[in-house]
Structures are given as C-alpha cells and as structure tokens.
Structure 1
C-alpha cells in the first residue's frame, strides 16, 4: 500500500508539471496584479487610503450579492468586528464548530466572549444543525427572549457556522434554530468566497459575515479579509471602528470610541481587485482538479474525495480526502506524501483540545473526533489555464 501512495504522489506531481515539490495552495498572479500594484506605488497611495480600497469593496459586494463589504487586514479581524457589530458582548457564549481554524474561537475571545463548541456533520464537515438542536435541548433554557446555558447561567448570544474548505453548512435549519432561540447568525465564510448555498452566495445569510484573503485562499490580497452585511448601519459602524474610530475631519484627529487599526491597505486592495477578475477561472479550475483527484484516488480502496452536497456549489478551496482508518493509517499517508514532495496535512486539531479553550463548554463531539482522524488535505492550487497564464 505504501508503494501505491508513492504512485499517487507521482501522479499529483504530474498534474502540477512534475515539480520537485507541490505546495498545498499557492497564489496565482499575472500582469493585472502587477499593473494595479504598480499604480499604487507610482501614485504613492499604498496605505489605508486610496481608490482601490473603495473599488475593491464595491466589487466584492457585487460579487457576493450583499449590500456592503468592508475590507480589513485579515480574516480574523473581519470575524472579530463582525461579532462585535452583531452584538456579541463580554461573557456571552457563542456556538461554533469544534472542528475549525483557531481564528473562529480567537475572534470571540477578543471580545471576552466564550466559545461553546458543537459537533460537526459528516455530510458537510461544518456545524451540524441536528446536533446543535439536541444540545440546546439538553443545556438550554429560553427565558425573557434569551437562550441561557443552564449549566453556566450565561446568555448564548450567537451561532458561528464555518464553511469548511469552501463547502457550505446546511444553513436553512440553522436559520430556523436562530429564529426559534433569538440567536445571531454570524457566518465564518473565510474559506468560501465563490461558494453558494441553494443559489445564494455564502456570507449573505448571516447578520454579518467574514471572509479571508490570506495568501493560501482561493483569491488573495496578500493578507486581508472583509466583513459582509446587508445592514447599512452595521457596515458604517464596522468601517468606522476598523479605521481607529476617527471622526472625519480635514485636519483634526478625534476618535469617539476605542477603535481598531484594521483597514486594508490600498496596495493589498489593488491585488484583490485584480484577483476578483479571475474568480470564474479559479472556480472552474478547482472543479476540474476535483474531477482529476476523483479519478486518481479511485485506484485506492478506502479513500474518497470529499464532494459538494446537492444544496450547494462549493469553491473547492482545499481538496479534502477521507481515509478508512481500517485500511490506512493517517500519519503514515501524510508521511509518504510529504516525503515524496507532495504537501499534505491533517484537518485542524479540535479547538476543545487546545490549551486556551479546554475549559470552554462543549457538546458531544463524536463526529469531530472521528473526522479529526480521517481527513487529509492535498494540493489544491488551481492548475493554470490559458485565461490566466
């Protein structure tokens, strides 16, 4: 079986032009990025003021189908501010999946709120609405229009589903739960730019949502993120506090509350503006890569490529494979692929097992613990095509 995995590594390298080393995900640039970034440098507008910031926000809102987008320095900052403007307060509990990148929990912690970990679904790899409802039934009490955790006495304020590797959570039942228990829906859409749930772009369902444009995302601004919302008032507030809460004035510096220096620099927005123009190419290439992996990995018994559900269209940001632990040992597979020059990694450690979050409330995490042992990410960079070579 080890030899079979070495063959797979060789064939993955062939997909990527027989490189000596294939990274998990790399950005793809061409002349447009150079043109727009060079324009920033020539004009001197490289920081948080400049035409590309506003234009990128408009183009992003249009692409995702929301009224407003507010560009910030990274996805964690976007989620931090999304939770803040949505109304999450100190000592509130926030439902979130235990199987997600640590930023989901960190963003809540920045507000002195408490992550409350819930299990995920094998169907979506994201927060499981059925398990969430069962957990609420076990620990929740609805009093005076608020959901209270009977075990801690704290208000449970919000639900933060994360669209894992670009695959949408099943949102309709989550929305029903939020309406039933007066919970705020804040989408962690950091990985799902270009993904749709029942024909509507992810990030458009929450009161507010967060995107990431890190260098490894489907499109990048180098570092960066954005807050999405259909609420103009929340968008204005988000823009204000991410610009150090400075009151606009020709020369005076006056700040009316504690703010954050989170605004995206113009030079990063220029990069994003060019990248957004190529999203259709990126998405088509991602889907083609999924088909290639599906054909390739059929050769190994006990391995399957994770594929989108009927209710969604995934951006397939990171390719995920699920291995049968009775037939394959995860760390052995990871060792072979990486030794052969094909970067592969396991899914994140459950947040409930990380030192800063071991004390946090949690539901039964059976599926989280199962998936943690069987999910592997493999190279996912869009294979270059003629339209953006």
Structure 2
C-alpha cells in the first residue's frame, strides 16, 4: 500500500526521481521586481511602501479592521496576548496539539499555558474540553474566571487552526463570551481559510497569521497581527514600533514596547505573493481533492477534509493512519524514497519546558499524534502559470 501512495504522489507532482518537498514556496509574480525596488530605493528596513501595501492587502483579504505586519507569527501572537491584557502569572488556555510557538508566545508574556484536548475531526481545540475545564476547575472572578485551586486568572483562550482547518471557532467564541475571557486566534496556518464565509483570525479582537517560508504564501519570515477593533489599531502599531512618538528628528518613546515591525524587503515578497494568492489556493485545493479521491479507495486511511460550513486552505494535507505502527512505516518508506512526509508535532505538554504545565485529559490529541501524517502539499506551478 505504501508503494501505491508514494507512486501516486510522484505522479501527482510529475516528479519521478527528485525529492518532493512537504511544502515549497512558489515565486511566479513580481517578487524580483519588488525586491529590486527595495534595494534601488534603499528602503529595506521597517519603513517603506511595501509594508503599508502588504498590510492593506491582508486587511482587505481577511475583512478585519486592520493588519499590522510583524517579524514573525510568534511575536505577533505575543503581541496579541499582551494587548489582550495577559499579564505575568496569568493562565492562558490552549490546545496541546499545536506548534511550539503557541505555547512560547504565552510564556513570553510571563503567563502559563493550560493544555486541553482536541476534536478528532478538526484537530483543533475542543469546545467540549474547554467548557468542562472552565466549569470544573474555575469560578467567576472580578476580571474573568480564576482557577479554584490557586486563584490565578484565566486571561485568554488561544485556539489554533491546525493545518488551515477551522476548529469549532463559533462554539469557542460563545464559551469565551459566556465566561468573560479573551479569545486570541492562532490562525498562523490559515490564510485563505474560512468558517461560514468569515476568514479565520477575525473572530476575536486579535488574531495572527504566519508567512514563514513553508506557509501558503511567504515573506521569508514574517507574521501579521489582525486587529478587529478599529479603535485599537493605532495603539497596537505604536507599541509594535518601539512606541516612538512622531517627530522629524527627536527620539521620544512613551512606553516599554517592542521592535516587532516587518522589514520592507520582506513585505515586498508578501505583496507579490498576495497578487496571486487565489491561484495558489485553487491549486492547493485541486491537489487536496485528488488526494481525497485517491484515499477514498483506501478505507484504513482517513483524509482530513473540510467540515460543513468550513473552507480550509489545505496548507498541509493530512491523513490518519490505522495506528502508530502504520504511521511509522509510511514515514520511513516515503522519506526513504524521497517523498517528504512528517508526523504532527509532539504534544506541547510532552516537551521538557512544559512538562509541569497544567493539562486536562488529552486522549484525543494523543491518538492524533500517533496516527496523523502530513503529505506533500505544495501548490503546482503548472496550475498557475
């Protein structure tokens, strides 16, 4: 069976010998021209027309009130949490099945992560687990729920949309509203993904995107803070830009702040990529649909596809194997044959720096870790150019 899978992927990508990467960027537009403009004008740092243009393009595309370009998604998430009021000593609820940046951003705020379980179908934070934790372990406080055992405030909930698939975000929004706790969306992997025609990352006051080299579009390294309240945009941008007060020559800063702004040279790549984002997404969806049809004939393998009401970007296509042994065998044979595949991340709660963090039952997440495999998911140039 594994030979059949490997052969299908090589046929799908039209590559019979060379390495097939898990996800490679495409540069088919004006990337070189925009980069040359940065060099020719010397505007390669955080001031330049492409930064503003990239922010406007992402704002328009996602439908948020405003977007602030950032050096990477981790810093964008740290900023979102801090701007949401997360303080040292607070608790922040998230899912154990996520990339390490989710927990690191919480730690950078001086807060402590609480790891909850995932839904089997979305791989994202389980609303059932969230509700059970809040009802069982916390009680209402003056500024939101507090942990019964320690009195620590639960300052925020951070669901992450795994591989660009929407979690049950509307249910999570409802629970957060009921318990008066901030929602911060980690939509790092979800550019071009929607829940009921609403772009992911736009359900709370703040959300984040990532533009790392392996994402749907890339700025080399970079992220975006999505702001859904127009009254918060200026203050957020000010804090992310060293809190420097406007003046022709004086260096006046009015608060402790970050130097998180994206350089113009990175934003130039983003602008060029945004110009054909819809084509990239269409190609990735076409690849995903071919996978869906192929795996439909292999009952022991589950292909993760959109749930009703959701439209994912299929950033990384994922399959669920029968068990860990089958997963490991596929990983070994595929990578040995030059077709890159990878397992999902280790649970954050299993990493040494988070082994003592609070957690609830993680049985679904543990099962997913043992069985899920990411398969090659790059957009295909032949479908775009």
TM-score by length of 1: 0.96
Tell me the SS of whatever aligns to 1:209.
Answer: strand
Question: How far apart are residue 143 of structure 1 and its match?
Answer: 2.7
Q: Residue 85 of structure 1 contacts residue 237 of structure 1 at CA under 8 Å; is this kept in 2?
A: no
Which residue pairs with 1:277 in the alignment? 275
Which residue pairs with 1:35 in the alignment? 33
Question: How far apart are residue 112 of structure 1 and its match?
Answer: 0.3
Q: Residue 344 of structure 2 contacts residue 374 of structure 2 at CA under 8 Å; is this kept in 1?
A: yes
2: CA distance between counterparts of 1:352 and 1:136? 19
Question: How far apart are residue 385 of structure 1 and its match?
Answer: 3.2
Which residue pairs with 2:346 in the alignment? 349
1: CA distance between counterparts of 2:170 and 2:25? 33
Equivalences for 1:69-84 in 2 at 5 Å?
Answer: 69-84=67-82
Q: Residue 90 of structure 2 contacts residue 153 of structure 2 at CA under 8 Å; is this kept in 1?
A: yes
Deviations 1:287-338 (A, max 9, x none): 1111111233344341121011002110110000001118x52211100010
Which residue pairs with 2:147 in the alignment? 149
Unpaired stretches in structure 1, ≥5 consecutive residues: none
Deviations 1:131-183 (A, max 9, x none): 11112122111133520111222000111010000001111211111111110
2: CA distance between counterparts of 1:169 and 1:280? 22
4+ runs of 1 displaced by more than 3 Å? 298-301
Which residue pairs with 2:214 in the alignment? 216
Equivalences for 1:106-121 in 2 at 5 Å?
Answer: 106-121=104-119
Question: May I ask how many residue pairs the two structures share in their alignment?
Answer: 384
2: CA distance between counterparts of 1:280 and 1:314? 13
Unpaired stretches in structure 2, ≥5 consecutive residues: none
2: CA distance between counterparts of 1:386 and 1:172? 34
Equivalences for 1:195-274 in 2 at 5 Å?
Answer: 195-274=193-272
2: CA distance between counterparts of 1:293 and 1:37? 35
1: CA distance between counterparts of 2:383 and 2:32? 18
2: CA distance between counterparts of 1:220 and 1:294? 26
Which residue pairs with 1:50 in the alignment? 48
Which of 42-51 and 255-264 deviates more?
255-264
Question: How far apart are residue 279 of structure 1 and its match?
Answer: 1.2
2: CA distance between counterparts of 1:232 and 1:254? 25
1: CA distance between counterparts of 2:355 and 2:232? 33
2: CA distance between counterparts of 1:333 and 1:246? 53
Q: Residue 145 of structure 1 contacts residue 181 of structure 1 at CA under 8 Å; is this kept in 2?
A: no
Tell me the SS of whatever aligns to 1:134.
Answer: helix
2: CA distance between counterparts of 1:82 and 1:143? 22
Q: Residue 85 of structure 1 contacts residue 234 of structure 1 at CA under 8 Å; is this kept in 2?
A: no
1: CA distance between counterparts of 2:312 and 2:29? 28
Which residue pairs with 1:177 in the alignment? 175
Question: How far apart are residue 17 of structure 1 and its match?
Answer: 2.0
Which of 173-182 and 138-147 deviates more?
138-147
Tell me the SS of whatever aligns to 1:147.
Answer: strand
Tell me the SS of whatever aligns to 1:376.
Answer: strand
2: CA distance between counterparts of 1:316 and 1:28? 16
Q: Residue 6 of structure 1 contacts residue 340 of structure 1 at CA under 8 Å; is this kept in 2?
A: no
Q: Residue 344 of structure 2 contacts residue 373 of structure 2 at CA under 8 Å; is this kept in 1?
A: yes
